[in-house]
Chain A
Amino acid sequence: MAIKVLHHGLSTTVQDLGRPGYFHLGIPVGGAMDRYAMRAANRLVGNDEGAAGLEAVFMGPKLEFLDDALIAVTGADLPVRIDGELRPGWTALKVRAGQTVSFDFLKSGARICIAVSGGIDVPEALGSRSTYVIGALGGYKGRAIAAGDELPVGAGPMASEGKSVAEELRRQPGMPAELRVLPGLYWDRLTEAAKSNFFADQWKVAPEADRMGYRFRGGRKLEFVERKQPFGAGSDPSNIVDSCYPYGSIQVPGGTEPIILHRDAVSGGGYFMLGTVISADMDLIAQLQPHTPTQFVEVTMDQALAARADRQTLLSRLRAALS
């Protein structure tokens, strides 16, 4: 079983649910940016949720299927065509040997997950098939896919076509997007005015937004409480002695443009962080296009845990609906 890549789209990589356990060496967890969408896509085609699929950003790839398969495309609204015929997203679709899968222009969201029955069968690296491009690790030869590649597909139970995820079970970030943040880490480095400005201002996703991190612009510059910089930190008030960065943490180099670290995050560095996007909202970041207006919403740990429980409930409903 194999898929021939006719066009790679913008950047299309093999991803699963990631590679935990190596962050202390600077190797990030990686995996699908929108885990919920990847789980749904895999469920639709009868795979384990952790099977490897393709993640494409902004533009879909063009793929020729060398064998029959069942596929599902979830996440962003990027209309899918099979041999030119428009087909629905979030639905199990039959593809016959020799048919071509392509995509229209993006309508909303940013990333799609493409699951194939049997999963993309590249070798595991450190326990995962996810592509970590900077480290040339995992995925298809450690890189994004390119025209001419033949992606191996595993043998899998062939589920039946037509199964679909109901609208209310498709989770999207909203407009403006709202991302819930638990203040912490070096939050107390900010003046009271800067703390309230951060949550009051509307930010916009900057063009520099990728699997490593999402940068935002448009809010007021953050001001720091005055102090003598500690030895080894560096002279700018936004500098700290290089430390670990949590996934979802928001660093603000120079106090000007917040950056949220995502699945392929650098594991540490020398910029202060004001807090962390809660786990329940990490998937939503994956679907933000550049220029999307975004509001950061302050929450407590209790609210973060309640949101986490809500998201798990949604996942349980999805599983029940697709079982």
Chain B
Amino acid sequence: MPARFTFGGDEHLFVECSDEMSLEAFFKSLSMAKGVRESAIRGITEICPANASFQIKFDPDLIKPDDLLREVKAIEGAAEKAEPVMTTRIVEIPVFYNDPWTHETLMRFRERHQEPTGTDLDYAARINGYDAVKDFISAHAGSPWFVSMVGFVAGLPFMYQMVERQRQIEVPKYLRPRTDTPRLTVGHGGCFGCIYSVRGAGGYQMFGITPMPIFDPTQSTSYLRDFMVFFRPGDIVKFRPIDRDGYDQAVEDVDKGRFAPPIYEVSFDLRQYQADIDGYNAKLEGALHGH
């Protein structure tokens, strides 16, 4: 599908590689965004990759919008031919599913939900065809996720689960967004999972919470000293379910500066992945377990 180009006012060019989500669209968008960055076109001030699209901020005093459009369009062909391969990292993130804090919050905003009588997990499990919440949690934690966008608020990852489309978890967003979401809530909306990096408004269904901070403006968290934002597009995430004791222990470890998330460098090849999704995922996860 050819990309769609449109202007956001006089300072933004918006490029939609596909109107539906897929890893192919993500790779094309990331590859075009990279091509734009490398081309160092005068007047471009920011490049923001998203799931299946990206946005360029530019200064129209330095480059005419039509000239920018022409230069970016010229990059599309090369991006389509680029190898869908990247070196990235896989990280294991503990999740306390069905925790008391998101539960308290979802009860507080129940009148904004599609199904006010149950919980977000009950609802998501049922509409995705799982008989029991525990089976749904197994599916959520059972396959890795690709970070396909970082944003919304500071450092929040949007994640796309690495399974066939039929197995993708899909849930609607809340009927009306909440005004509150606990920090580090693991949520889901449309086909995307997320981790809320800070406390605030949100519309995704809430499934659990992680003890692992992913944004720290004070940069005092042991693994965020170099930069306050943990995630980058292309990161691969594997969730590991933990219980209350595991959660409390991890929070204490974070506070004492001794929490170290397992992170390993891996290479990802979209074609190999597509040829054998489960086999490829098992190989990726192997990196987390030392083989």
Which residues of A pack against B, CB within 8 Å? 20-21, 23-27, 125, 132, 134-137, 142, 182, 184-185, 187, 230-236, 239-244, 246-249, 253, 266-270, 273, 275-279, 301, 304-305, 308, 312
Contacts and interface: CB of A to CB of B under 8 A. Distances in A.
Interface stretch (B46-54, B75-83, B241-249): B46-54
Contacts of A312: 61
Size category of the binding interface on chain B: 35 or more
B173 interface: yes
Nearest to A138: B217
Given A233-B190, A236-B172, A244-B54, A135 B154 contact: yes
Given A135-B198, A184-B6, A243-B50, A234 B151 contact: no
B221 interface: no
Contact of B52 (A125, A135, A241): A241
Contacts of B215: 135
A125 B216 CA distance: 12
Contacts of A308: 10, 60-61
Contacts of B55: 243-244, 246
Contacts of B54: 244
A134 B181 CA distance: 12
Contact of A23 (B57, B160, B200): B57
Given A184-B8, A301-B7, A308-B10, A241 B190 contact: yes
B172 A235 contact: yes
A1 B150 CA distance: 40
A177 B204 CA distance: 34
B4 to A, nearest CB: 9
Contacts of A231: 20-22, 165, 191
B101 interface: no
Contacts of A24: 46-49, 150-151
B153 interface: yes
Contact of A184 (B7, B152, B158): B7
Main secondary structure of the interface of A (DSSP, over half): mixed
A253 B203 CA distance: 11
Interface of B: 6-12, 14, 16, 18-22, 45-55, 57, 60-61, 65, 149-156, 158, 160, 165, 168, 170, 172-173, 177, 189-192, 197-198, 200, 215, 217, 228-229
Which interface residue of B45, B154, B198, B228 has the most chain A CB atoms within 10 A? B154
B284 to A, nearest CB: 22
Nearest to A306: B10
A47 B238 CA distance: 50
A266 B150 CA distance: 11
A196 B226 CA distance: 50
B151 A304 contact: no
B8 A23 contact: no
Given A25-B151, A25-B154, A134-B153, A20 B45 contact: yes
A268 B48 CA distance: 9
Contact of B192 (A132, A242, A247): A242
Contacts of A276: 7-9, 12
A282 to B, nearest CB: 9
